[in-house]
A and B are shown apart, each in its own frame.
Chain A
Amino acid sequence: MIRFSHVSKRYPGGFDALKAISFHLEQGSMNFLTGHSGAGKSSLLKLITHSIKATRGEILVDDQNISRLKNRDIPKYRRSLGCIFQDHKLLYDRSVFDNVALPLIISGLSSCEIAKRVRAALDKVSLLDKEKSMPITLSGGQQQRVGIARAVVNSPKILLADEPTGNLDTEMSDEIMRLFYEFNHHNVLLLIATHDPRYMKDPNARILTLAQGNIIAGGLEDNDSANAPSAQPLE
């Protein structure tokens, strides 16, 4: 579903964030992306959302070569992804409901359909009673769940999360992670950037480990065939 082939990213100024990395994530799989800060985790996620362009290599998402996306096709592509951010990236001048509705308004759905789907998404994250609240009145964990509801309201097949539990305590983090596994059971591909070792004990999850722009575990070797190696949990 997501395949990187020898992808490099060099920022203006000459910094190599990623060096010829290759990996393959399958549909409906659970994947963690880990590594020290500055190892290239954010760059990798930004490449998938096409917020930045790869300097070299090929990125296939759902059989679509996104390195060749035309500017006018980027919005449609991004609507097929769900993104969750460490700082939630909510809009604080509008209610929880309006925040979750944003992707649907962008897609141009009718207000009746929007209400139905927003409530379904809020129900999944157990925030149905908060739909009229302003995000600022919610706790960090609740705000993150609003962010998750917004990411899944369009029913994407791919969910990307950048340090989703970075600012949360253990209890809230576990709650968030439980939600992610729930989505995973519905055949959604998850790619979660985190450096919390507690979540990397799942033997069914693939763990991509980045160090200084290289994949040191969980990726495809240069000589590997198209078949991905089995997931290697990091201990």
Chain B
Amino acid sequence: MSMKSKHLKKYATDSLSNWLRRHLQVFFYTLGQFAQNSINTLMTILALGIGFSIPVIMFSVVDSVSNLGGQWQERPQITLYLDAGIKDAQIESLKTTLASDERLGEIQFISAEQGLAEFSAQHQFQSALELLDENPLPHVFVVFPINATDTASIAELTTSLGVLEAVASAQYDFEWLQKLSALISFLKRAVVVLASIIAIGLLLLIANTIRLEISARRDEIDITDQLGGSPAFIARPFLYMGFLEGFFGGIMALFISAIVLGLLSAPLSRLGELYGFGYDLPLFRLDIALLLLTLSGLLGWISAKFTVSQHLRTLRPE
């Protein structure tokens, strides 16, 4: 029994190392081929990199802009400005009223002092605030409606909160919010559509390089088939080629997009400042990089698989 399991174990490690060896052989062989045709390979990878970088750049910009608006965009919020000179007891009773209101979820109280501190933290207001003798800000309740997502019901809720005692005014800035969220969802859709079109283009580009490689190595394929190479064996170098082209194209795209985002980041943050937000555009994001490299490698592999399978069908005996 132990002999048998020992044999099995040996067989398993043998076939594993066999498998590994075959793949390593092809992996290094493919890298060698790339080095041999360095100009062609570089051109292909550059073209793939440019193609992949466009959706990456667009996604990075749109994603960072949508994060800016995120605090309003995801949860509608209504701001209640309280009467000036209001007493603590009135604040407490208003808080109780708001807390018992079933239409509302979370309630945040921002005292005039907290508000002032927040403003002071944003440097562009600092000099203006220093000119004032006293705190011009009122106390504020920020409330988050639950179940009210459409503008009509939020507007109705805003009106009803505005007439509460001690509330000077209630504001819900939905027009700006609507525009922003419409713009962002349009841009997000545009990125997806554009990325899909580009992906199809790159799929064809890789397929074409594989097709060229197949015709350049037609003799080798025929001889290998004749000598008993399985379709998987014949296809393997081409699959590696497709995968590695896609993968290196992805890495190239990360470089290109970092450069382009670097060029965009200064004017974008100036634009952001004009709207009152200080923000940075990250040049490299791990999540995007990992997603890109996975997708680009997969795309290359699929493209090669499709092209090689088509060719292998012609080798079947008739």
Contacts and interface: CB of A to CB of B under 8 A. Distances in A.
Interface in B218-240: 219-220, 222-224, 226-231, 233
B179 interface: no
Nearest to A103: B227
Contact of B228 (A52, A91, A103): A103
Interface of A: 12, 49-53, 71-72, 74-81, 83, 89, 91, 93, 102-103, 105-106, 108, 110-111, 150
A93 B218 CA distance: 13
B228 A78 contact: yes
Nearest to A105: B25
B226 A52 contact: no
B226 A83 contact: yes
B227 A83 contact: yes
B228 A77 contact: yes
17 contacts: A49-B226, A51-B317, A71-B316, A74-B228, A75-B231, A78-B227, A81-B228, A83-B226, A89-B219, A91-B219, A91-B220, A103-B228, A106-B224, A106-B227, A108-B18, A111-B21, A150-B227
B101 interface: no
A102 B317 contact: no
A50 B317 CA distance: 7
Given A74-B317, A108-B18, A108-B22, A91 B230 contact: no
Contacts of A111: 21
Contacts of B133: none
Given A72-B230, A150-B227, 12 more contacts: A49-B226, A51-B226, A75-B231, A76-B228, A79-B228, A81-B228, A89-B222, A91-B223, A103-B227, A103-B228, A105-B25, A111-B21
Contacts, number: 56
Contact of A110 (B21, B220, B223, B316): B21
Contacts of A12: 318
A154 B21 CA distance: 19
B139 to A, nearest CB: 78
Nearest to B226: A83
From A75, A76, A110, residue with most partner B Cβ within 10 Å? A75
Of the four ranges (under 10, 10 to 19, 20 to 34, 35 or more), the interface on chain B belongs to: 10 to 19
A12 B229 CA distance: 26
A108 B25 CA distance: 10
B28 to A, nearest CB: 12
Given A91-B220, A91-B223, A106 B229 contact: yes
Contacts of A78: 226-228
Best-buried of B18, B223, B228 by chain A (most CB within 10 Å)? B228
A106 B227 CA distance: 8
A52 to B, nearest CB: 5
A106 B228 contact: yes
Nearest to B219: A91
B224 A102 contact: yes
A111 B224 CA distance: 18
Contacts of B227: 78-79, 83, 102-103, 106, 150
B223 A89 contact: yes
Contacts of B229: 75, 106
A93 B229 CA distance: 18
The 3 lowest CB-CB distance pairs between A and B, nearest first, are A78-B228, A79-B228, A75-B230
A75 B220 CA distance: 15
A81 B228 CA distance: 9
A164 to B, nearest CB: 15
A5 B22 CA distance: 40
